[in-house]
Structure 1
Amino acid sequence: MFNLFNKKKNKANIHSITIPDQGWNKLSEDGDAIRWVNPQQSALIVLHFFDKEPDLPTVKDLDYLKKFYRNIAASSNGGTVETDILHIHDIPTVKTIIKIPQKETGMVYIASITIPFEDCSYVVKIQANEIGVTGMRDAAILNRLMETGEVEIGEENIINWFEDPYDPDFKQGTPMNKSELEKYDHEFPEHPLSIARSLIKKIATEIVFQPVIKELPSFKK
């Protein structure tokens, strides 16, 4: 009778999900996270396991999620590059890419996939930092778009350059600029945004769930 009144303990753990680690060096591992690093690219892959109810607001309302992550990024003077809802092995997940200004110069790009369940969640995160000479991608695309007249230099700002991808009227933080569009990634494969975006796409395709994952109660929000 005792067992009937006790909630079945979650059997999932950090190893219930496997992601491609690119053969990078494992930096650390514990029950909450596994971290891999590639010093040459100043990039980090992290697999997090949170053994508690997720604080994610929803996996159903994409418009709400866009506002939610836009405000999170802007609170750190950053901006949103992408927010989307994916279905990985039939499980709803949230994909985001945001950028945060570094103290000196350049940006940190953070791409993530959040996989929520009723009582736990996994987050895969890619963090890639601009290092060395920064702003080369921005400058190259800005000059190109100025030549075509798509972007202009105004008296106080650059016209038609910065724009949140989902709300052109949102001006807080550091909105996405035209050079950060995915169509330019192939021209700048070593740029941290290109690295983060390609890696999170690869992980979303190649992530492996152990059978215990299918037994977890789903996230209802």
Structure 2
Amino acid sequence: MFNLFKKKKKIKAYLHSVIIPDEGWTKVSEDNEAIRWVNPQQSALIVLHFFDKEPDIPTAQDLDYLKKFYRNIAAASNGGTIETDIVHIHNIPCVKTIIKIPQEETGMAYIASITIPFENCSYVIKIQADEIGITGMRDALILDRLHKAGEVEIDEENMKNWFEDPYDPDFKQGTLMNKSELEKYDHEFPEHPLSIARSLIRSIAATIIFKKEIKELPSFKR
């Protein structure tokens, strides 16, 4: 007799169920949970993570909540938010973030990520690009331009209209985003780590491939 109440087979996903483009990157390590590459031309680290457990993000639907959530995470490391957004990749709501964290000596580390959540697992693509060598050139050039245009005021104590969280002008903790970090300046500084991180995460989001089992996973409801 056939068992009409047979349990539905659980769909299982793996690290290699998600494929991101390999455009000449150098693979530096791989295990069951992550693949790591470096982009030697752009001094960037690219990582594809697989977490075989419930996602630790609070939501993939409430953008205002996500902005607060990642703003506080960045500030806890004395950093700041550059971008928080919900993007749809192959019709799956994903969380995209870009934050900056001050490095020990000088300059910033820019970390761009996309979290692809499901009910019982998640993938995270992370790119880290650090300022090396002479730092602050982008900031200085744009600051000088905006100051001369009267858009930024500088006095002995502070700079007005230069540092600001992109979503909450009243938030003052951490190292806030500055006007030079707006995306509209990336084309002027294509080798800047923020431009690199932003370009790479955009390219990956547009070209990522999901294998069949990914499309059958139970969705993330929150």
Given that 2:55 and 2:117 are in contact with CA atoms closer than 8 Å, whether structure 1 keeps it comes out as: yes
CA deviations on 1:46-65 (whole Å, 9 max, x unpaired) are: 00000000011001100000
Q: Give % identity.
A: 79
CA deviations on 1:60-97 (whole Å, 9 max, x unpaired) are: 10000000000000000000000000111000000000
Q: Which amino acid aligns with 1:106?
A: G
Given that 1:109 and 1:127 are in contact with CA atoms closer than 8 Å, whether structure 2 keeps it comes out as: yes
1:47 maps to 48
1:214 maps to 215
Paired residues, what number? 219
- Runs of at least 4 residues of structure 1 off by over 4 A? 7-10
Q: Distance in 2 between matches of 1:44 and 1:161?
A: 29
Moved more, 100-109 or 10-19: 10-19
**Unaligned segments of structure 1, at least 5 residues:** none
Q: Distance in 2 between matches of 1:95 and 1:194?
A: 16
1:147 maps to 148
Moved more, 34-43 or 203-212: 34-43
Post-superposition offset of 1:110: 0.3
1:127 maps to 128
Q: Distance in 2 between matches of 1:8 and 1:159?
A: 59
1:63 maps to 64
SS at match of 1:41: coil
* TM-score scaled by length of structure 1: 0.96
1:25 maps to 26
Given that 1:21 and 1:45 are in contact with CA atoms closer than 8 Å, whether structure 2 keeps it comes out as: no
Q: Distance in 2 between matches of 1:147 and 1:162?
A: 17
Matches within 5 A, 1:88-167: 88-167=89-168
**Unaligned segments of structure 2, at least 5 residues:** none
CA deviations on 1:3-50 (whole Å, 9 max, x unpaired) are: 956x84442101001111221100111110001002342210000000
* TM-score scaled by length of structure 2: 0.95
Q: Distance in 2 between matches of 1:101 and 1:112?
A: 17
